[in-house]
Chain A
Amino acid sequence: MIAEIGLASLWLAAVLALLQLAGGVLAFRTDGTGGENPMGMFIRPAAIVQAFFAACSFVALLYVFAVTDLSVKLVAANSHSAKPMIFKLAGSWGNHEGSMLLWVTVMAFSGALIAALERRLPERMMQATLAAQGFVALGFYAFLLFSSNPFERLEVPAPEGMGLNPLLQDIGLALHPPVLYFGYVGLSVAFSFAVGALLTRQVTPEFARVSRPWVLAAWVCLTMGITAGSYWAYYELGWGGWWFWDPVENASLMPWLAATALLHSISVLAARDALRAWTILLGVIAFSMSMLGTFLVRSGILTSVHAFAVDPERGMFILVLLGIYIGGALLLFGLRAGAVAEGERFAATSREGALVVNNVLLSATLGIVLLGTLYPLLTEAFDVRVSVGPNYFNPVSAIFVLPMLVVMAIGPLLRWRRDRLERVMKPLALLTVIGAVVLAIVALVADIAFLPLVGLALAAILAVASFIPLRRRKLTRVPLATWGMVVAHFGIAVALFGMASESAFSSERLAALEVGETAQAGPWRVTLNGVDPVAGPNWTALEGRLAVRAEDASRTSEPIMMAPQSRTFWAPVQQTTESALATRWNGQLYAVLGNQLDDGRWQLRLWWKPFVTFIWYGGLLIAFGGVLSIIGRVRKDLTRRSVRSRLASRRADERALEAAA
């Protein structure tokens, strides 16, 4: 019954999205003749009610997963009665259909939010924006209802569920997709605003200010999603790496790159009324990338082109949707871009100039990642099988990322509109010296590869450069948004330091140990005390007991205990390696337990990774900077609005007085 209610709610939500779109189209078309179409007044309520029904539908899905209703096909295929409750719930979005439902639910919610609260923009533009939002949502509803129904029943209920892939039974991964989806959907709002602005030909700083919190929020969510996903891959896969240039990872990186560019260009538009058409184009690209990402991951095209052929209906649907939205938006842009008047001008050496360079380089990096991700699909069409990995991505993206980081150090020091490099000569000289000193010291004491070497020097430069915008300013009066920029840029420096240090200084040890034997990994001595069987709620495991001491510590000192496991799940039957991590301020010791050899020894793989944790600390700092910016911007907008309304009411009072007199 609950499943049917969920399905019915989904249909109702789809109808309301249609109403939202139709209302927008009618209101938009008749507006030219003067009178306002009555359909226009339905748009905002439709968006709010649509969110209600989408939420009902999603709650219904959560419910059938929570009670493990095995007559529902999706539950039978992805859940199991003997699974912890949190993973039962997480299982509802750990699959194609459920994740698409989560997508539209979040999207409907953000639509409802702007419909209920956003009153700053001209009503016509809001209607166009909400209509665009409804149009996008409609495509997703159609996709769910016609080819990915999450509430489909089985004719005969399954006796037991198939279970959730054990790799996904992890709290980090349970929460990681929703966070990424919030990011994707936030970009959909920015996209709808861009379409609304194009349709009404009002690409104004006001439009930029209204959509900026959404871009920022989306960007924060993407940053956190990528950071969490990277850490998950790091400890759960047991390969010791933190980024594999896997298509699934790239699918989240590409929208992030586009969102980063959009974030910066929208700031230029808001502050200086320049880069109008470019900002709109980036809005379209950012959302295209998030749709492409979702579909590439969820359709299974990337794991295998053959999966596409297994379910041609779903594959075609995906292609058509992508074509309609991306093609349509680009067509609209092509038609209307000429009508967008050129914005304010600026000199090449100016804050705007630096941001343009940043934008172009980010877009180029995006192009590099996109081509590398799609290339295997292209060659497979010609029956040549390739995979594209770090050999391609690392050096080629570095060509664009390294200059971008240099510009990132200088850009915030420049003034808007027009500046001279001579004015910032002193800080530039300081940064150059810092970079050169770090480069020289590292090159002398350690023999490391070119990219990590440059990375370490750039990290030092950026760490200092990110705080220079604060010099000679009273710290208590610095706007919150500026603090956000400082923290986020510093976060980039921290993450870059972690990446460079990890790839330059990691030491690995592969050993076969008898119980009681000791192996050395980096500055640590690791003793295998024993291997015991342990059991969890839906798995059994062999657990190694490792005692870790620093190499200069005495043998009697208190050791750090580590317990890597080799787990066997029984629903579905699968083995996973659970790595064990010992975190110190200056790095992480990473241990993986392998197989037992015929002579009784145990395989053990150990890494000492200096400062690897800084990668994720950096990611968190970047996201935190974004949060500071959002708070700062929204607070400023609220004060501005209350001042304006107070002015308006005073003016009204004066007028009333005059009329009375």
Chain B
Amino acid sequence: MSALKAKHQRLVLGLIALLALVGAGLLAAYALRNQADYFYLPGQMLADPPRPDRDVRLGGMVEEGSLATQPDGVTLAFVVTDKDRARVPVRFSGIVPDLFVEGSGVVAEGRLRSDGVFEASNLLAKHDENYIPRELEDMTKAQAEQIVAETRAADPGT
């Protein structure tokens, strides 16, 4: 190592560290723009559907009367709806969270298939009285009830 270089070793080390960290920061910023999972309400999802290869979250209320178990016993089909009555059909294979019932709030993680069905890989429901998935917090209980009521009114057959 040359004398000049040795003299500035601390400076060089500092620069290398700084460079690596800035690089990490830029990489993180780039990756976050592309890899973060965006949250959609049913209306947003219908208006501006995400690409089929992107993981996203869909949040809303489980429509009354829409919940049906497929013959295999482990695949569920239901419809997630919001206060503007936009409806997104959802498929989920697995064991549902304990508080998952018709009329309850839900956040589904998964992808929107190109045929318009949301393929959920995981469901987050209300865990207990004190915890609400943060995306659903804006929907107060009253709003939720209103959605349910409106859904009923719109679909008297159920």
- Which residues does A use to contact B, with CB under 8 Å? 165, 167, 238-239, 277-278, 303-306, 342, 345, 347-348, 356, 359-361, 363-365, 367-368, 371-372, 375-376, 379, 384-389, 391-392, 395-396, 399-400, 510-512, 566, 572-577, 592, 594-595, 597-599, 601, 603, 605
Contacts and interface: CB of A to CB of B under 8 A. Distances in A.
A389 B121 CA distance: 13
Contact of B35 (A167, A303, A391): A391
Interface stretch (B14-22, B83-91, B112-120, B143-151): B14-22
A601 to B, nearest CB: 5
Given A345-B9, A363-B21, A574-B127, A392 B36 contact: yes
Nearest to A509: B74
B94 A605 contact: yes
A601 B73 CA distance: 8
Contacts of B74: 510-512, 594, 603
- Contact residues on B (Cβ < 8 Å of other chain), bracket: 35 or more
A388 B21 contact: no
Contacts, number: 127
Contacts of A510: 74, 93-95
Nearest to A389: B37
A142 to B, nearest CB: 27
24 contacts: A239-B122, A303-B131, A305-B134, A342-B10, A345-B1, A345-B9, A360-B16, A361-B20, A368-B28, A371-B25, A384-B38, A386-B36, A386-B39, A388-B32, A388-B36, A392-B36, A395-B31, A396-B27, A510-B94, A573-B128, A594-B74, A595-B95, A599-B73, A603-B95
Nearest to B27: A396
Contacts of A306: 134, 137
B37 A388 contact: yes
Given A342-B10, A356-B13, A364-B24, A391 B94 contact: no
A342 B93 contact: no
Contacts of A592: 95
A386 B134 contact: no
B17 A363 contact: yes
Contact of B96 (A385, A386, A395, A595): A595
Contacts of B35: 388, 391-392, 395-396
Interface in B53-111: 55, 57, 69, 72-74, 93-96, 98-99
Interface of B: 1, 6, 9-10, 13, 16-17, 20-21, 23-25, 27-29, 31-32, 35-39, 55, 57, 69, 72-74, 93-96, 98-99, 122, 127-129, 131, 134-135, 137
A391 B73 contact: no
Given A371-B29, A597-B73, A391 B55 contact: yes
A368 B135 CA distance: 24
A340 to B, nearest CB: 10
Contacts of A368: 24, 27-28
Contacts of A167: 127
Given A345-B9, A387-B57, A389-B55, A364 B23 contact: yes
A574 B25 CA distance: 42
9 closest residue pairs by CB, A with B:
A512-B73, A575-B98, A594-B95, A364-B24, A385-B39, A392-B35, A386-B36, A371-B28, A304-B134
Main secondary structure of the interface of A (DSSP, over half): mixed
A299 B110 CA distance: 29
A576 B98 contact: yes
B62 to A, nearest CB: 15
Contact of B1 (A278, A347, A574, A594): A347
B72 A512 contact: yes
Contacts of B16: 356, 360
Given A371-B32, A572-B129, A577 B72 contact: no
A175 B70 CA distance: 42
A392 B31 contact: yes
Contact of A367 (B25, B39, B73): B25
Given A347-B1, A367-B24, A512-B73, A594 B96 contact: yes
A372 B27 CA distance: 11
Contacts of B23: 364
Given A379-B36, A389-B55, 12 more contacts: A305-B134, A348-B1, A364-B24, A367-B25, A371-B29, A389-B37, A396-B31, A572-B129, A575-B99, A577-B98, A595-B96, A603-B73
Given A386-B37, A603-B73, A372 B20 contact: no
B51 to A, nearest CB: 13
A304 B137 contact: yes
Contacts of A238: 95
A380 B155 CA distance: 35
Given A364-B24, A576-B98, A387 B128 contact: no
A12 to B, nearest CB: 34
Nearest to A392: B35
A305 B134 CA distance: 9
A372 B32 contact: yes
Contacts of B128: 165, 572-574
Contacts of B39: 385-387
A385 B31 contact: no
A496 to B, nearest CB: 21
A304 to B, nearest CB: 4
Report which residue of B31, B37, B129 has the largest number of chain A beta carbons within 10 angstroms of its beta carbon.
Answer: B31
Contact of B17 (A304, A360, A595): A360
A598 B122 CA distance: 23
Contacts of B17: 278, 356, 359-360, 363
Contacts of B99: 575
A304 B1 CA distance: 53
Contacts of A597: 69, 73
Contact of A400 (B24, B96, B122): B24
A389 B38 CA distance: 11
Nearest to B6: A345
A368 B128 CA distance: 32
A368 B28 CA distance: 6
Contacts of A375: 32, 36
Contacts of A278: 13, 17
B142 to A, nearest CB: 17
Given A386-B39, A605-B95, A392 B32 contact: yes
Nearest to B24: A364
Contacts of A347: 1
Contacts of A372: 28, 32
A360 B22 CA distance: 11
B9 A342 contact: yes
